[in-house]
Amino acid sequence: MNPQYWDRTVEVPLDASLGFAGSGKCEIAELYPVERLRLTAQGPFAALGSKISVRVPAQAVVVLEVRPAPNRIEKPRLYGVPGSVECAEGGYLVKTWGPQGKSERCAVLLPDKSAPITSAHVRDVPKQPLRLWSPTPVKLVAGRDDGAAMDVTFRRDAAPDELRRWDVKTGPLEDGVAAGRPAGFKDGASLDFPLFVDAGVEMPLWDQRADGLGLGPLANFCGAYVENAFSETQETWIDLKTGGKAEIPPGPLLGTEAAAASHPLPEAAMDKSGAWWVQTSFHLPFMYTLGAEPFFDEHQFLVLPFVRQSRVVQVKAWINGVPLEVRKYEYPRNRGFSCFYADLVGSGAVGAAENKLVVYFEAK
């Protein structure tokens, strides 16, 4: 399975394996998909010879540039989010942006002998209509004489992307329907999918290797993701004040990206049962209705990738108890690869609310 349908954390070595020699500090600039200076778990600067953790989005790449750390901070520098920081009356003004509902840890590094930052407040810029007003939470989490770190959550509800956490239960279709499982069930075990991610399994996971590992039908299931879920970029202005009583605990300016997780393959990955019920829930900030939908390729789609598609016998799904029409898409340049999907427009999915998704599949 070559396409990576899920986020993963990778460890980037800042050493000779990538051509970096010597010691000292460096600065990490992200060039794609977001142009920004990264805030690492070591702070704004990382040590050569060490490793940094980088979260790579699903179906994407991250392009980084490793630069020498500046010898001296000449003007305020912003780390962790895109944008700028400029001097303003009584402090500084951060102008940034990000996807609605996403939380980010960021930091501002100040020139020597600057007055320390003591508080942070979000401006209502751009101006929001009162009937649609939504807060932008911001919290200073650490500070020192030359800067401060804060957490910001861009306004409005987050759009769903990957659906990784599922409740699972084995059993045939007829028994599950009779028990009312299409509307949801309460007695399943909770698991993170794909089961083989961060479990020491080398990628890509081809069929022969999956068989050699003894993976069963449940391990074929890779969770799901929602394509074209409505999301806007939210411009955000943050006032950072100096002087007065500090509203910030002292501490280093550190990022939040943790090292890559590692765990053994769960027992369920080896289960040879061929029929499975899985369920999850997700929030849609907005849902198109019939008669007001965009062109088909802009519809909100539920995508259900499997590792060994040829061994999947059937897939059925329900959203909020209403059947979904699940279709199979075969890639034109290689019909041996495919994925299952369902159009959420005109289905039982609802906007501005939680949606219960139940999937049944059989696999060999």
- The 3 state secondary structure assigned to 126-155 is CCCCHHHCCCCCEEEEEEECCEEEEEEECC
DSSP helix/strand/coil, 363: strand
pLDDT in tens, 46-59: 999 999 999 998 88
DSSP state of 173: H
Q: Model's pTM, two decimal places? A: 0.90
DSSP state of 40: B
- Residue 4: per-residue pLDDT: 61
Q: In the structure, what pLDDT confidence band is assigned to residue 261 with cuts at 50, 70 and 90?
A: confident
- Residue 29: per-residue pLDDT: 98
Distance of alpha carbon 33 from alpha carbon 281, whole angstroms: 28
- Residue 300: per-residue pLDDT: 95
Cβ atoms within 10 Å, residue 323: 13
- Residue 3: per-residue pLDDT: 44
Average pLDDT over residues 203-213: 87
* Whether residue 6 has pLDDT greater than 90: no
Beta strands in 51-110 (DSSP E): 51-56, 63-68, 77-79, 84-88, 91-99, 103-109
Mean pLDDT for all residues in the chain: 93
Residue-wise burial string across 139-175, b where 16 or more C-beta atoms lie within 10 A, e elsewhere: ebbbbbebbbbbbbbbbbbbbbbbbbebbbbbeebee
pLDDT in tens, 312-334: 999 999 999 999 999 999 888 88
Q: At 135, give phi and psi (nearest 5°).
A: -75, 155
- Residue 33: per-residue pLDDT: 94
Domains of the chain and CATH, by start? 162-230+262-363 (2.60.120)
Distance of alpha carbon 300 from alpha carbon 297, whole angstroms: 8
**Spatial contact of 102 and 152, defined as CB atoms under 8 Å apart:** no
Average pLDDT over residues 208-225: 93
Residue whose pair of structure tokens reads 């929030």 in the numeric block = 283
Average pLDDT over residues 275-299: 92
- Residue 2: per-residue pLDDT: 34
Q: In the structure, what pLDDT confidence band is assigned to residue 132 with cuts at 50, 70 and 90?
A: confident
Rounded CA Rg of the chain = 24
Closest Cα to residue 33, out of 233, 303, 262, 194?
A: 233
> What are the residue ranges of helices labelled H in 169-295?
173-178, 207-212
DSSP state of 309: G
* Whether residue 1 has pLDDT greater than 60: no
Distance of alpha carbon 92 from alpha carbon 80, whole angstroms: 17
From residue 94, alpha-carbon distances to 77, 97, 235, 250 in Å are 10, 10, 11, 21
Residue whose pair of structure tokens reads 């409740």 in the numeric block = 167
What amino acid is encoded at 85 in this protein?
V
From residue 152, alpha-carbon distances to 155, 199, 208, 234, 333 in Å are 9, 32, 45, 12, 43
259 vs 98 pLDDT, higher one? 98
In degrees, rounded to 5, the angle at the alpha carbon of residue 201 between the alpha carbons of residues 310 and 19 is 125
Burial class (CB in 10 A: 0-12, 13-18, 19+), 89: exposed
Distance of alpha carbon 66 from alpha carbon 14, whole angstroms: 9
Cβ atoms within 10 Å, residue 214: 11
Q: At 193, give phi and psi (nearest 5°).
A: -115, 155
- Residue 5: per-residue pLDDT: 64
